[in-house]
A and B are shown apart, each in its own frame.
Chain A
């Protein structure tokens, strides 16, 4: 007797439901996406008891006629694609025709729909996948779907549902993502009769993000907008200092679909390198827009992940876009691609480029470029005098760099900076970096808190500045600048310091000798596990060199938990300034001025090389609130 049989539809749907419908929030997602695809201008989502009791999604979209209302519950019935080739040019959110039958198979399902031109609508009721009722009814144009008692016939699933509060959170996040993805649609979410989220139609994603994330968060974010090679990356990204403890608020949208690809998170991490602490994640909302044939959305059952045809290129562009935003360069579109033509093949595996260019982004940590791959604003326009005309802000366009160097520390040498092309339009005069720089220069120092923190007044309020972090940042950039210049200035020692290391440290040091040398350290092997420190980078605090080297090696070994560490200049510089800058005596006024001046000149004055903030601002509004002068 044959034992293989084709499953009845009802069972097949339930199995599909297992993939597509994980929890109430998945139902919300599928229904909202359908509504958006139906051209809705306004979508209202109701949920009760975490969506267990009821989920209702109501839209004012195109609706369906009698036949479609019936057909939409058949598996793989869809209006969105017609033939295989359509899969490559999907512009709608749904396309598989799985959602409705799946949902209907695990709940008590009711659908009312009316096309605007029809006089009356139609109502379908399904219980556990079995049609119970189909009739004409009166209803508003559009479609309204009620999903009651989700998983009532799948006790296993029901058991795995979390508390209503948790499920509500998921629903909220789902609606939030959809709202972010579709700014042109008005959204309303009502949880247990409480209006939880309301957002009118917005003209553009930025405005929508501002509405949804809250003013405070939105104000702490920088606009991102960067187009290259037919791919546009735009949205909002956190200013340095704003971080979260998880990635949850790193939200990506690919062609209007909340989705991600692993490479994108990595790209963000690269872009923020040294600006955020380990285990902290800057929140962001990034929209990736590219022609549909360059992305495969049919990867994940719930379409949470997509696959780019050129994952490396997209990741590079995301990293570049975020970096530019962090430097206050959003809104620029480069005429000429800053990227070297990354060898592309349609299989989605770009040939590894051995010469990562300025914005190069390579997943292999050994090749990771230094964190500020854009050129320094060269001669610094000897400090832009006033906020002045836009031309005084040094244009930091990636077109400034020398074409294709073979090293992976691409920075212009001072000689090349004299005649860099002034082609790129410069960013607006209020670019955050310029503003920050001016703000740092404009600080009025009020005193010192403890021995470590400078207390200052700025136009915005009270500023606390961590001297130690500031020093680390300054020293760090100085070291890296020297390394990038390819000719670090170093001060040889008249009396070299000898260093006897444990075997592990000695091996590590031997392996990374050239990187130490690139930073300006002079180290000679002295037989066995002994070394001689013969030179230190110019301007490097020279105290306790032996101990310092040991600390650096220790740090390098620990930070690479388990793996054989391959420290590069960046990591060494990070470790070096961490240990070279000690708790300090109170600074004299002239030293404070110097510190502020140096900090203002720093490329990334916001954080120390390990991501701790350098400055905290307590705004006037906050102070007034605390003193009860303002509600």
Chain B
């Protein structure tokens, strides 16, 4: 193998592959990155057997070939090279020579035949979106996933395709966030998959917003393919809880609040919240909302602001973090809070297709 490649492009591609390559693994080959040549391109692959990333960069290939090298060290070396053209060449004894301007390295490699490779996904259903859409949808729900390692399904994000409607949902059992979107040209197929947290992370840095991404799903695997990168991942086994039953069928009261103001006030007032008094209270009166908090250890705080509300006076307690999470990730100017009383689930909506359900606290 012999090829020439721009240092910047190699660095960028390597960084992407390095994300999934673990340095702590019992299988030494997984510490490596796989380098292959395909007509005019260098293909880098990294995997931890759960998620794998395969990314291509243009290169001048003189001599095709394949090699694997220790990913971390290779990354450090490439990162330290001066800007310019990098020449990669395999020599005797399976060594990789790296030269750039006057610098020269020769590093040892492992047998590339051992490197685990992902088979092309053969069946399933697919749809096309953009990296930006995908990233925003994931961001709007990802904070609601549960860190509880004993309930693996809740660690991930549910991706569900039904009647041309794509739903992403996440819940930790206390709140639920979901985004629904109609897919452009009525994609056929129905199914639910649960994306593991790791692939959710990777997807959020998949590429520029406008870049097209093809999502392909089967009941075992999922893949996301852009022009230069393919991410494939295993899915979380198990059944996602029936989150839809937690969404009340109707609400009797509605209040519209300015998102940014609401967030700022919440942030301020919740300064006095402590572990034993972990709630903020929202008191709604005609055209006014008052956010207040009190804790015996710290003190108290309150702040009113204008809202549009016509219903009867009511006070509802919330975990401030749970309330601020969606507000931070939405883009709209106004959010709508809907509820029936201070004990039942409360709905927050704003951005198109977004829905958040939160249980009030009992104090």
Which A residues contact B (CB, under 8 angstroms)? Answer: 376, 378-380, 382, 414, 417, 474, 478, 481-482, 485, 487, 489-495, 497, 522, 535, 538-539, 542-545, 547, 598, 601
A489 and B148: CB pair below 8 A?
A: no
Is B361 part of the contact surface with A, judged by Cβ < 8 Å?
yes
Q: In the complex, which residues 319-363 of chain B have their Cβ closer than 8 Å to any Cβ of chain A?
A: 319, 343, 345, 357-363
Chain A residue at minimal CB-CB distance from B175: A494
Least Cβ distance of A536 to chain B in Å?
8
B173 and A538: CB pair below 8 A?
A: no
Q: What is the bound-complex CA distance between A526 and B186, given in angstroms?
A: 42
Q: What is the bound-complex CA distance between A474 and B298, given in angstroms?
A: 17
Chain B residue at minimal CB-CB distance from A412: B296
Given contacts A382-B299, A478-B275, A490-B361, 9 further A-B contacts (CB under 8 A): A379-B299, A380-B297, A414-B296, A491-B174, A492-B174, A493-B174, A494-B171, A538-B276, A542-B148
* Contact flag A535-B362 (CB < 8 Å), given A493-B174, A494-B171, A497-B173: yes
Q: Point out the residue from B146, B147, B276, B298 that lies within 8 Å of A489, measured CB to CB.
A: B276
Q: What is the bound-complex CA distance between A487 and B297, given in angstroms?
A: 16
B148 and A544: CB pair below 8 A?
A: yes
A482 and B276: CB pair below 8 A?
A: yes
Q: What is the bound-complex CA distance between A497 and B172, given in angstroms?
A: 11
Chain A residue at minimal CB-CB distance from B294: A414
Chain B residue at minimal CB-CB distance from A489: B363
Chain B residue at minimal CB-CB distance from A543: B148
Is B120 part of the contact surface with A, judged by Cβ < 8 Å?
no
Least Cβ distance of B56 to chain A in Å?
36
Q: What is the bound-complex CA distance between A474 and B241, given in angstroms?
A: 32
A478 and B148: CB pair below 8 A?
A: no
- Chain A residues near B297: list those with CB within 8 A: 379-380, 601
- Chain A residues near B148: list those with CB within 8 A: 542-544
- Chain B residues near A535: list those with CB within 8 A: 362
Q: List 5 A-B contacts (CB under 8 A).
A: A485-B276, A489-B278, A494-B345, A538-B319, A544-B150
Q: What is the bound-complex CA distance between A311 and B150, given in angstroms?
A: 51
Chain B residue at minimal CB-CB distance from A379: B296
* Contact flag A543-B147 (CB < 8 Å), given A414-B296, A495-B243: yes
A547 and B150: CB pair below 8 A?
A: yes
* Contact flag A481-B276 (CB < 8 Å), given A492-B362, A601-B297: yes
- Chain B residues near A545: list those with CB within 8 A: 173
Q: What is the bound-complex CA distance between A271 and B243, given in angstroms?
A: 48
Chain A residue at minimal CB-CB distance from B154: A495
B246 and A489: CB pair below 8 A?
A: no
Q: What is the bound-complex CA distance between A364 and B299, given in angstroms?
A: 38
Q: Point out the residue from A481, A489, A547 that lies within 8 Å of B279, measured CB to CB.
A: A489
B241 and A495: CB pair below 8 A?
A: yes
* Contact flag A492-B276 (CB < 8 Å), given A497-B173, A542-B172, A543-B150: no
Interface residues on B, range: 35 or more
Q: Point out the residue from B151, B174, B175, B278 that lies within 8 Å of A544, measured CB to CB.
A: B151
Q: What is the bound-complex CA distance between A417 and B294, given in angstroms?
A: 14
- Chain A residues near B278: list those with CB within 8 A: 489, 538-539
Q: What is the bound-complex CA distance between A43 and B362, given in angstroms?
A: 68
Chain A residue at minimal CB-CB distance from B343: A492
- Chain B residues near A487: list those with CB within 8 A: 363
Chain A residue at minimal CB-CB distance from B297: A380
Q: What is the bound-complex CA distance between A497 and B150, given in angstroms?
A: 13
Is B217 part of the contact surface with A, judged by Cβ < 8 Å?
no
Q: What is the bound-complex CA distance between A489 and B298, given in angstroms?
A: 16
Q: In the complex, which residues 149-175 of chain B have their Cβ closer than 8 Å to any Cβ of chain A?
A: 149-151, 171-175
- Chain B residues near A485: list those with CB within 8 A: 276
Q: What is the bound-complex CA distance between A538 and B279, given in angstroms?
A: 8
Is B235 part of the contact surface with A, judged by Cβ < 8 Å?
no
A417 and B296: CB pair below 8 A?
A: yes
- Chain A residues near B151: list those with CB within 8 A: 543-544
Q: What is the bound-complex CA distance between A382 and B175, given in angstroms?
A: 33
B359 and A492: CB pair below 8 A?
A: yes
Q: What is the bound-complex CA distance between A478 and B174, given in angstroms?
A: 20
Q: What is the bound-complex CA distance between A360 and B51, given in angstroms?
A: 61
Closest 10 CB pairs of A and B: A544-B150, A543-B148, A414-B296, A538-B278, A492-B359, A539-B275, A495-B173, A494-B246, A489-B363, A494-B359
A494 and B176: CB pair below 8 A?
A: yes
Chain B residue at minimal CB-CB distance from A601: B297
Q: In the complex, which residues 55-98 of chain B have their Cβ closer than 8 Å to any Cβ of chain A?
A: none
Q: What is the bound-complex CA distance between A380 and B151, given in angstroms?
A: 39
Chain B residue at minimal CB-CB distance from A536: B174
Is B277 part of the contact surface with A, judged by Cβ < 8 Å?
yes
Q: What is the bound-complex CA distance between A9 and B277, given in angstroms?
A: 76
- Chain A residues near B343: list those with CB within 8 A: 492
A542 and B275: CB pair below 8 A?
A: no
Q: Point out the residue from A478, A494, A544 that lies within 8 Å of B276, measured CB to CB.
A: A478
B173 and A493: CB pair below 8 A?
A: yes
B275 and A494: CB pair below 8 A?
A: no
User: What 0/1 readout, one digit per residue, does chain B (221-246) give for beta carbons within 8 Å of chain A?
Assistant: 00000000000000000000101001
Least Cβ distance of A154 to chain B in Å?
66
- Chain A residues near B276: list those with CB within 8 A: 478, 481-482, 485, 489, 538-539
Chain A residue at minimal CB-CB distance from B246: A494
Least Cβ distance of B297 to chain A in Å?
6
- Chain A residues near B319: list those with CB within 8 A: 491, 538
Least Cβ distance of B146 to chain A in Å?
7
Q: What is the bound-complex CA distance between A380 and B299, given in angstroms?
A: 10
Chain A residue at minimal CB-CB distance from B277: A489
Least Cβ distance of A492 to chain B in Å?
4
Q: In the complex, which residues 117-154 of chain B have their Cβ closer than 8 Å to any Cβ of chain A?
A: 146-151
Q: Point out the residue from A379, A478, A491 that lies within 8 Å of B359, measured CB to CB.
A: A491
Chain B residue at minimal CB-CB distance from A538: B278
Chain B residue at minimal CB-CB distance from A414: B296
Chain A residue at minimal CB-CB distance from B242: A495
Least Cβ distance of B32 to chain A in Å?
27
